[in-house]
Structure 1
Amino acid sequence: MTPTRSRWPLTLALCGGYFLVLLDVTVVNVALPRIGAELQADAAGLAWSVDAYSVPLAALLLVSGAIGDRLGHRLVVLLGMACFGAASAACALAPGIGVLIAARVVQGIGAALMLPGTLALLVESGSDEASRSRLVGIWASIGGAALPAGPLIGGLLVQSAGWRAVFWLSVPVIAVAIVPVARLPRSAPAPGHGDVDAAGAGLLMIGLACLVTAAIRAPEAPLAAGALAAAAVGALLGLAVVERHAARPVLAVPRTARRPLGLAALVAGLMNLCALGGLFLLTQVLQDVHGLSPLAAGLLTLPAMLPLPLLGAPAGRLAARIGLWRTGALGAATAAAGMAGIAAALPDAGAGAVPLALSLALWGSGLGVLTPAIVGAAMKAMPESPGLASGASNTARQAGGALGIAASAAIAGPSHAAGFVVRTSGALLGGAAVLVLAAVLCIAVSRQEKAPS
């Protein structure tokens, strides 16, 4: 497909689907009080209305990406879109918390089927390396804006139309987005790639589901989290055994691609660990400490949100000029500086203070540069299997985000406790240090790539 105007409906559809997948990670949080009041849900039920989406999303990403490489991404993305749209409507119509949780599970499954293929189809539509880098930048920037946009969009919808509007939002968007994807020509599986290692896929899903659930439940139920972590280790060890003897393993990663793909996934996980952990604490400080409404708190995060969709394309051009890993290092270092600034501003600055706004903008700018660079590095590691590469990167990001929220909650404690803001600042400084580590990793990889063999 040539880079002409005819490609834009597909680009917007795939990026719109990715935006919705990530938006639903955070948009529901601001609706929880009203969901609890109307559906008479307790704290555990509300927690699971969030986690029931995150767990299948993280558990299925790698498998769905690998299956898309085998069976064709068009088919998997269409199935995911249909599943996501139908489940969103079911969430909006839920008469009780049990139905809502069940619908959120199905929504997470649809999101996992959709997400890796959106990037794979975009990369396949690029005519050359430069156009593919631009498309990855657009995809990453639009998706990156979804996480901080969640509180803002959720606040607007909840205050103006009620909590059910948070879920109704996805239905018309998916209905429009599915059309250009359906118009793509059907692609036959590559010879010998139509089969899927069911045992390996099952063990991978179980291992990732247990791992992410352990991270989510660790602050409230450490013993259960420990048991889940042990089950995850057992499943992943079993996966290693099964994959060694499988004719076509679900994680068919060539030896030369393992290191760059693994490092790209590691940096992606560290990025989301800091981003979602920081956002989780920041929204609590703004609402519970400073007393802002969900809408006002969302508006105050705009300096962090606005750079994300604006910097994707420039970051892609910068990566083409200086390299993906150097661009990633620049983004990580910038985000670290912004996160340290937020940590310094929180204890003394009131909501809306200039130092806080500037630090938020710096943080968002760094993430806007880092995200497309590290996604591009993952895709470059395995150009012949874009679904698996996308799945690996996004799985790391989802797992990193779950770990970041769990760690942040454990470090800062409840928002009503004394010293919460000070502990939050400490957690943010820790996140800045993690981003510095990510920048160092990116520089090290860049230097090794340039070293003579």
Structure 2
Amino acid sequence: MGKSSWSLTLALCGGYFLVLLDVTVVNVALPSIGAGLHASSSGLAWVVDAYTVPLAALLLATGAVGDRLGHRLVVLSGFIGFFVASVMCAVAWAVPVLVAGRALQGVSAALMLPGTLALLTLSAPSDRARARVVGLWAAVGGCALPAGPFIGGLLVQSAGWRAVFWLNVPVIVLALPPVLRSRSDRPAADGRVDWLGAGALVVALGALVTGIIERQPLIFLVAVAGAVALGVVERRADRPLLAVPSSARRPLAAACAVAGVMNFCVLGSLFLLTQLFQDVHRLSPLQAGLLLLPGMLPLPLLGAPSGRLVHRIGAWHTSALGLVVAAAGFAGIAISAGRPVYPVLLVGLAVWGAGLGILTPAIVTAAMRTVPDTPGIASGASNTARQTGGALGVAVFGAIAGSAAGTAFARHASWLLGFGALAFAVAAAFSAAYAREQLPAQHRSPA
């Protein structure tokens, strides 16, 4: 691989790293943002969800936009938008400005995420090189989530919460030239984008999250209307956002449901834990980030062992195992986080992270196997389910726990972490049952 190819690979992997990093890096900064901008608990929830809602709602559409206009143009637009949004967040003088910047970041991230992988595969000169760069892309993504709390804590403690957003600026400046020089794109002249479906999905998800965070029941009617409109539009569309064969709908829905539950509990818990550690237990941002490391490090480390386990016992059995382990970790965190009992908390976080490290590759594999001939559809559905679950988890956990300054916050946080353990246990039972249901079909087919 030549120097220009490596520079493009590093640039695209850097963009992917920023997209995933910004899902978690802001969590450790939330108490400092709340103090600096006088943000309420709902305002802090919006700082997180203003990013994840557009990212979740637009992922399916932006992949089609890249196919139609060319992924290079779409990725460049995402990079430039992310640059502008990061500067906007870094200089924000009020919560609405910060939330608007985060929303633009989310839109830009949705433009970047599908296109980075597409450009990498198109630029690879051979199948061997393609496998190598895709492996590098996946490894970079695996490092982003565990890096978020630590990098966030380090930056907040040393330079303040605004440094979390300034971090993105030099990375994008370095990444832009190789993407500008790239000539490996092949846009499809006959591609079409289901804009009506994408708009309905944005309205439905945005209204649902707004109704939860702001506790406005009437807004749920808008969410219902958006969901109904989405169903009508998708049934009539020539090229719907998610064109899934009828035989694959049920298994893909099952995999997406488990993936959504996973992110619902995980991101909702991270939202509470970072505030609990700093606002209630008075840890510094760096101490809070370091405390979360045992829960984040197993994610990239267990990817390969989980893959081997999937090969031996199947994706659904592996998912059930990961869910059981993570549920035990959730229980340990719930018991010890409110007091806190640090030895039990650290063990709980490590077990929790190990379960997630086993679960994440397995449930993604389960989704990808439902439509092997069109992996982009399965990947888009799985990513959308995970980001949607994460956005709803932050909204629900934040609304129930209330303000970190409240006397009941620690108790409510412990209850919600216990709910996470229960939800993972139920999902484990569902996965095990689904695995048993699939066994007869697997025995009938040599594949």
Would the TM-score normalized by the shorter structure come out above 0.5? yes
C-alpha contact (below 8 Å) 2:310/2:362 kept by paired residues: yes
Residue type matched to 2:210 in 1?
T
Q: CA separation in 2, counterparts of 1:379 and 1:120?
A: 17
Specify the alignment match of 1:399 in structure 2: 388
* Contact 2:28-2:275 at 8 Å conserved across structures: no
Gap change, CA 1:388 and 1:171, over 3 Å in 2 = farther
Q: Deviation of residue 344 (structure 1)? A: 2.4
Residue 165 of structure 1 pairs with residue 156 of structure 2: no
Does the aligned pair in 1 maintain the 2:66–2:187 contact within 8 Å?
Answer: no
More deviation in 241-250 or 329-338?
A: 241-250
Deviates more, 1:290-299 or 1:280-289: 280-289
Structure 1 counterpart of 2:397, one-letter code: S
Q: Deviations over 1:220-242 (max 9, x none)?
A: x32x2x22322122122122222
Q: CA shift at 1:21, angstroms?
A: 1.8
Q: Distance in 2 between matches of 1:11 and 1:332?
A: 34
In structure 1, the partner of 2:151 is 153
Equivalent residue for 2:113, pick from 103, 115, 118: 115
Measured against aligned partners, the alpha-carbon deviations of 1:60-113 in whole angstroms (never above 9, x if no partner) come to 122223434555544433332232123213332445555433322221110111
Residue 229 (structure 1) aligns with: 220
Give the aligned partner of residue 289 of structure 1.
Answer: 280
CA contact (8 A) 1:66 1:251 kept: no
Question: 1:431, CA displacement in angstroms?
Answer: 0.7
More deviation in 19-28 or 334-343? 19-28
User: Corresponding residue for 2:336?
Assistant: 345
Aligned position for 2:65: 67
What is the alpha-carbon distance in structure 2 between the residues aligned to residue 328 and residue 122 of structure 1? 29
Gap change, CA 1:229 and 1:117, over 3 Å in 2 = farther
Q: Decide whether aligned partners of structure 1 residues 7 and 425 sit closer, same or farther in structure 2, where only a CA change above 3 A counts.
A: farther
Which of residues 243, 254, 269 in structure 1 aligns to 2:245? 254
Amino acid of the residue matched to residue 214 of structure 1? G
Match of 1:208 in 2: 205
Change (3 A) 1:180 1:269: farther
Q: For residue 88 of structure 2, what is the aligned residue in structure 1?
A: 90
Q: Which amino acid aligns with 2:185?
A: R
Corresponding residue number in structure 1 for 2:232: 241
Amino acid corresponding to residue 381 of structure 1 in structure 2:
T
Whole-angstrom CA distance in 1 between matches of 2:310 and 2:67: 26
CA distance in 2, matches of 1:25, 1:93: 19
The AA in structure 1 aligned to 2:346 is A
The Cα offsets for residues 362-402 of structure 1, whole Å up to 9 and x where unpaired, read as 11111112112222332333344444433322221122122
* One-letter amino acid matched to 2:254: L
Rounded to whole Å, the distance in 1 between the matches of 2:399 and 2:42 is: 17
Alpha carbons of structure 1 residues 296 and 43: separation in structure 2 relative to 1, 3 Å: same
**Local SS of the residue matching 1:451:** helix
Measure how far apart 1:424 and its partner are: 2.7
Q: Percent identity?
A: 59
Q: Determine the structure 2 residue equivalent to 1:311.
A: 302
Helix, strand or coil: the match of 1:443?
Answer: helix
Count of paired positions: 438
CA distance in 2, matches of 1:250, 1:6: 34
| Cα deviation, residue 312, structure 1 | 2.0
- 2:75 is the alignment partner of 1:77: yes
The 1:240–1:334 alpha-carbon spacing in structure 2 relative to 1, beyond 3 Å, is: same
Q: Which moved more, 1:9-18 or 1:49-58?
A: 9-18
The match for 1:57 is 55
The CA deviation at 1:166 is 1.0
- Provide, for residues 198-245 of structure 1, a one-character-per-residue CA deviation record: whole Å limited to 9, x for no partner: 322222222222223334x1xxx32x2x22322122122122222222
Deviates more, 1:16-25 or 1:304-313: 16-25
Aligned CA distance change for structure 1 residues 38 and 279 (closer, same or farther; 3 Å):
closer
Question: What residue in structure 1 maps to residue 254 of structure 2?
Answer: 263
TM-aligned CA distance change 1:264 to 1:180, over 3 Å: farther
Q: Residue by residue, what CA displacement relative to the aligned partner does 1:163-212 show, whole Å, maximum 9, x if unpaired? A: 322112112223344556553611232x74x1223322222222222223
Kept in 2: contact 1:144–1:371 (CA 8 A)? no
Give the structure 1 partner of residue 102 of structure 2: 104
* Structure 1 match to 2:314: 323
Deviations 1:312-339 (Å, cap 9, x if unpaired)? 2332333234332222222212111111
1:185 alignment counterpart: 184
What is the identity, as a one-letter code, of the residue corresponding to 1:166?
V
Letter in 2 for 1:243: E
Once the two structures are superposed, residues 261-306 of structure 1 have per-residue CA deviations (whole angstroms, 9 ceiling, x without a partner) of 2112111110011111222222233222321111111111111121
Taking only aligned residues, the RMSD between alpha carbons, in angstroms, comes to 3.4
Write the deviation string for residues 24-78 of structure 1: whole angstroms up to 9, x where unpaired: 2332344345556666767766554444323322221222234345555444333
SS in 1 for 2:243: coil
**Hey, what does 1:197 align to over in structure 2?**
194
| Displacement after TM superposition at 1:118 (Å) | 3.9
Per the normalisation by structure 1, the TM-score is 0.84
The 2-side partners of 1:443 and 1:7 are apart by: 44
Q: Which AA in structure 1 matches 2:364?
A: V
Distance 1:204 1:370 in 2: 27
Gaps of 5+ in 2: none
Q: Distance in 2 between matches of 1:140 and 1:332?
A: 22
Q: 1:34 to 1:16 in 2, by over 3 A?
A: same
Cα 1:271–1:7 change in 2 (3 A) is farther
Amino acid at match of 2:88: A
Q: Given residue 267 of structure 2, which amino acid in structure 1 is its aligned partner?
A: L
* Cα distance change, pair 252–213 in 1 and its aligned pair in 2 (3 A): same
Residue type at the aligned position of 2:226: A
SS at match of 2:187: coil
Are the counterparts in 2 of residues 141 and 371 from structure 1 also a CA contact under 8 Å? no
d(CA) in 2 for partners of 1:121 and 1:381? 24
Paired with 1:166 and 1:441, the residues of 2 have a C-alpha distance of 39
Contact residue 343 and residue 425 of structure 1 kept, 8 A? yes
Q: Structure 1 regions of 5+ residues with no counterpart?
A: none
2:41 and 2:420 mapped to 1: Cα distance?
28
Change (3 A) 1:323 1:116: farther
Residues 1:50 and 1:278: Cα distance change in structure 2 (over 3 Å): closer
Distance in 2 of aligned mates of 1:430 and 1:46:
22
